[in-house]
Homo-oligomer: A and B are copies of this chain.
Amino acid sequence: MLFERLCIIGPGLIGGSIARMARARGDVARHVVAYAATAESRARVRALGFVDSVEDDIADAVRGADCVVLCIPVGAYAGVMARIAPHLAPGAILTDAGSTKGSVVRDLSPLLPPGVHLVPAHPMAGTEHSGPDAGFATLFEGRYCIITPLEGCDPAALAKVREMWVRAGSIVESMDPATHDKVVAMVSHLPHLIAFTICGTADDLAEETREAVLRFAASGFRDFTRIASSDVNMWRDVFLNNREALLEMLARFTEDAHALARAIRYGEAPFIEDRIRRGRKIRRGLIERKQD
């Protein structure tokens, strides 16, 4: 048994999937306890029955837990940490599932009680659904989980968090928080920013054209809108908490888009062909890595 008392703060898509995975395996935690911010969510989690207990008070939820997992929008970390820090058990592990890691270290470290081990993690899994009903035990199977250990991190605590994700079926990788934030800005946050934007751009077209756009949406636009159907609060917080890396990647992308636009304007065929070929090259790279 990996943990005696595993505490899930925020039993939505991710937190609810961790809880279901732990219950399904039986070797992750003897007791799974959850706390949700609203009475409605707590009632729903109780009704779904995928945890052993649900606490109405966040302090009661973390008290005595040897592992606490934050599964909430990253913008809520600082406020939640202020409420739980006094109640974290000595020797407990504090980990999370947030999509940004620099902000997590920034918001959690200052309030970390002595003897509590912070091990930030980012399971790269999800669906377009959210809430307590959306989770399932196999969500993390075959997906990457990036752990961003801090300097001087307790090796035993790190090993336990790693082991939890291995048992969830994930491929676990380590990197520093800054590299993590740059990589996910490129592979996930920038594509989402673009997807949300292009939907708004379409929505602003004149009525007749907009109707036709929706009617004739070819595969390209559908792929873009697919990733745009995501949780509002989560993505607002991701954008705000990975601001620097995201704005840097957007600036690089915009420069490149303008270079291609200029080539189109002036009919520079070789430049355009080169850009298309590079897209195919990256695509092949992904296929070779069996990421498709």
Contact = CB atoms under 8 A, between A and B. Distances in A.
Interface of A: 124, 126, 144, 146, 173, 175, 179, 182-184, 186-188, 190-205, 208-209, 212-230, 232-233, 235-236, 239-240, 243, 246-247, 249-250, 252-254, 256-258, 260-261, 264-265, 267, 269, 272-273, 275-286, 289, 291-292
Nearest to A231: B276
A220 B192 contact: yes
30 contacts: A179-B209, A179-B212, A183-B212, A184-B218, A186-B213, A188-B218, A190-B198, A191-B198, A191-B223, A196-B276, A196-B279, A199-B283, A200-B275, A201-B256, A203-B278, A203-B281, A214-B285, A223-B227, A224-B224, A225-B282, A226-B283, A228-B283, A229-B284, A230-B280, A232-B277, A232-B280, A233-B273, A236-B269, A240-B269, A250-B261
Please give the count of copies of this chain that the complex contains.
Answer: 2
A220 to B, nearest CB: 3
Contacts of A246: 264
Given A222-B292, A223-B223, A239-B272, A213 B256 contact: no
Q: Which A-B residue pairs are the 5 nearest by beta carbons? A: A228-B279, A191-B220, A199-B279, A199-B282, A229-B283
Contact of A276 (B235, B264, B282): B235
